[in-house]
Amino acid sequence: MPTVIEPKLISGNANLDLAKAIARRMSLYRGMNVGLVDARVERFNDQEIFVEVYENVRGEDMFIIQPTSNPANDNLMELLIMSDALRRSSAQRITAVIPYFGYARQDRRTKARTPITAKLVANMMVKAGIERVLTMDLHAAQIQGFFDIPVDNLYASPIFALDVHSQFRDSMDDLMVVSPDVGGVARARELAKRINAPLSIVDKRREKAGEVAEMTVIGDVSGKKCIIVDDICDTAGTLCKAAEVLLSHGATEVHAYITHGVLSGPAVERISNSVMKSLVITDSIPRSPEAQAAPNIRVVPTAPMFAQAILNIWNGTSVSSLFETDTLGPIYEGIL
């Protein structure tokens, strides 16, 4: 009788809390204990990364949970070295679960003599032995084409829609979804369709990276509770200024739903002092102590979605089914 190969999870140091939460959810779904493979991922004195896997993984279906967030280079190297260790230990298949895909903003040449680093990172992952990638809200959807292996890109908008229905159940007719720039219209439109709300755009013009020179609101936001939707919040300068501009145009409240809370530099202080009533992020990136203490920053979990996606990949069923509210709703029942 053939042996059933079970999915096995292993995690680096990038977001161990999320990895443990995914393991707990998988245990709940399967009715049996699913733990993280026992391994050590540490650094020598010269900061070289070393990985040792203590369990037998020969012939196993392995899932490495490792976002490549700050410090991006260290976390990326951990992922590559873990994959190499598993490949050399005869794992049957290696899937990289990357909740936040670092270097995704370098997806094209913006000027002469600049790299396309997202493509370079994709090449490195494939060479390291990774055979499938599971990620969430890639900054640019075309990055999936940088890989010569399957890439499953999950979306946070179904989770956000469930949260919006929970938080604004008494004022759904007053909501307006706002894209903070023209490039994010498709992402904002997706949430607007899910909650049946109108769409507005904040058109911004940059003088240089990290600075916004001018903002114009396209659409009537007067009397509306505005929900800004984006994939990444880095220094939060654009986000906080957009909130001010929306209020100046007659919005009654401004909230933000951002998938990846990078929150670098002065971001948390800016958000704490901003006119935004709330910023909702996912746990794709671990929060700093300052972000955890901020009263207007809230987190929605991604572990239920990732756990189900991993199980679907393992047993060969549809991952895109998780884009539907009817499928995702029961998974998040009692959580949001």
Bridge partners for 9 per DSSP? 36, 63
Is 106 annotated to bind a ligand? Reply is yes
Q: How far apart are CA 122 and CA 304, in angstroms?
A: 26
Is 113 annotated to bind a ligand? Reply is no
How many helices (H) does the chain have, and how many strands (E)?
10, 14
Token digits for 323? 């884009």
Is 105 annotated to bind a ligand? Reply is yes
Is 206 annotated to bind a ligand? Reply is yes
Is 46 annotated to bind a ligand? Reply is yes
Residue from 284, 272, 217 nearest 21 by CA: 284
Token match 């998938």: residue? 259
The string of DSSP letters for 181-211 reads SGGGHHHHHHHHHHHT--EEEEEEE-SBTTB
Residue 54 in 3-state DSSP? coil
Active site residue 204: yes
Is 91 annotated to bind a ligand? Reply is no
Is 235 annotated to bind a ligand? Reply is yes
Bridge partners for 208 per DSSP? 211
List own/partner pairs for 213-218 with CB under 8 A and 24 or more apart.
Answer: 215/241, 215/242, 215/245, 217/245, 217/246, 217/249
Is 236 annotated to bind a ligand? Reply is yes
Marked catalytic residue, from 20, 119, 204, 241? 204
Token digits for 38? 């026992």
Is 108 annotated to bind a ligand? Reply is no
Q: Which residues are annotated as a binding site for D-ribose 5-phosphate?
A: 206, 230, 234-238
Binding site for ATP: residue ranges? 46-48, 105-106
Bind-site residues for Mg(2+): 139, 181
Binding-site residue ranges: 46-48, 105-106, 139, 181, 206, 230, 234-238
Query: Among all residues, which ones are annotated catalytic?
Result: 204
